[in-house]
Amino acid sequence: MYILAIETSCDDTCAAVLENDRVLSSVISSQTDLHKDWGGVVPDIAKRAHQQRIHPVVMTALKRAYKTLSPSPFPLTGQGENKSLDYYMKQIDVIAVTKGPGLAISLSVGVNTAKELAIKYNKKLVAVNHIEGHILSNLVKNKNGLPERLIEYPALALTVSGGHTKIILINQDDKFQNSLNPSPSKEGAPLDREAANGKYIYEVVGETLDDAAGEALDKAAKLLGLGYPGGPVIEVVAEKGETNFLRLPKPLADKKVLDYSFSGLKTSFYYQIKDWPKEKVNQHLADLAASFQEAVFESLIRKFKLAVEKYQPKTLLASGGVLANHNLRKKLRKLAKETKTPLFMPVKKSLNTDNAMMIGMAGYFKALKNEFEEDIEKLDRDPRMKI
């Protein structure tokens, strides 16, 4: 099954082509340069940029997928490099698109493009939840079918990005097996549909009550004059800093609560440095970045650990933009070791931050379950879509 996936939920214009769960191509057109002077994503600017970029991004993804499949299994070979959109679209079986959650006017661009293509080329369409995409980014395989990962249930997922921070328990409906692990047989025979047709049940067991963790890092970076997006800069600046330079609160200390709260951290950080002259802030930049980052990560790990103790999962999954951070990855590995639970994290940076590979992956599972949109014309974005 060839899947064209489209993702425009925030400020990256993304398209990817997958053959089942294997990525043939992925294009991410970042808008960071357009937003950084504003210290955050400006919806109107994001929308316009998505509109200008989505068609070239889709075309590039299709072309690259074609090149990856060399020698091409597509029927019309030998026509040179520059084939038309019509040609490439003929080879696609399913279009997957992010329906939500995200910025409404950004989501619209992807959804409308997917609808246009599906109607024009008479393709099946699946609408994907962005957060499910982040969870399943852990199962995306390269063109050689690697890595092979086996998820055992119940599994516990931590998704941490600029828009959300959630702990999600994943269980399987007992009637079905292998739902997150449908793999084609070695000979490349058709998938075992029955095994792949499983149901998995997501239950949000903890989530942020205010800011997302990535959002908190972005806000702290802004306060420190470090630019946007803040997470990656804070990571670099914090490297040589003292993590206990500032005393910051431990949010929601109650052990029964699995939720997060980052706005108190941000406020405490702000009040502690607001009267400092610029020189003093600059002098202690590394310590300030390290203290704030540590407070955010300590909280992420503390609550995730409580959830692990409570639900005793057999597999841990972590994903989302903030997982690009080496320090956080290290802390999660330590937790996995302590609790003797296998942990999966996306294998490369571009799978952590927003991308269309993960949307294709989620779309693939939906397609296996025949969860196609019945009335494509009626499909609409859902900025507050629940998982």
Residue numbers of the site for Zn ion (CB under 5 A)? 161, 354
Q: Which is nearer to ligand KG4, 214 or 360 (CB)?
A: 214
Supply 387's token pair: 């998982």
217: partner contacted, choices Zn ion, ligand KG4, none (Cβ within 5-8 A by kind): ligand KG4
Binding-site member from 211, 218, 259, 373 for ligand KG4 (CB under 6 A): 218
Helix axes 213-223, 285-311, angle to 10 degrees: 170
Q: Residue count at the site for ligand KG4 (CB under 6 A)? A: 20
Q: Does 324 bind ligand KG4 (CB under 6 A)?
A: yes
For the chain, give percent helix, strand, coil, nearest 5.
45, 20, 40
231: partner contacted, choices ligand KG4, Zn ion, none (Cβ within 5-8 A by kind): ligand KG4
Does residue 14 contact residue 27 with C-beta atoms inside 8 Å?
yes
Q: Does 8 bind ligand KG4 (CB under 6 A)?
A: no
Does residue 323 contact residue 138 with C-beta atoms inside 8 Å?
no
313: partner contacted, choices Zn ion, ligand KG4, none (Cβ within 5-8 A by kind): none
Q: What's the rounded Cα separation, in Å, for the pair 284 and 99?
A: 43
Q: Does 198 bind ligand KG4 (CB under 6 A)?
A: no
Which is nearest to 7 in space by CA: 118, 122, 134, 116? 134
Q: Which stretch binds ligand KG4 (CB under 6 A): 89-97, 143-151, 231-239, 359-367?
A: 231-239
Q: Does 354 bind ligand KG4 (CB under 6 A)?
A: yes
Q: Does 241 bind ligand KG4 (CB under 6 A)?
A: no
Instruction: Give the number of other CB atoms < 10 A from CB of residue 188.
Output: 7
Name the minimum Å distance from CB 340 to ligand KG4.
27
Return all residues near 310 (Cβ < 8 A) that are at least 6 apart: 205, 258
Q: Which stretch binds ligand KG4 (CB under 6 A): 92-100, 166-174, 215-223, 301-309?
A: 215-223
Q: What is the x/- site pattern for ligand KG4, positions 24-63, by CB under 6 A?
A: ----------------------------------------
Residue numbers at the binding site for ligand KG4 (CB under 6 A): 10, 161-163, 214-215, 217-218, 229-232, 235, 320-322, 324-325, 353-354
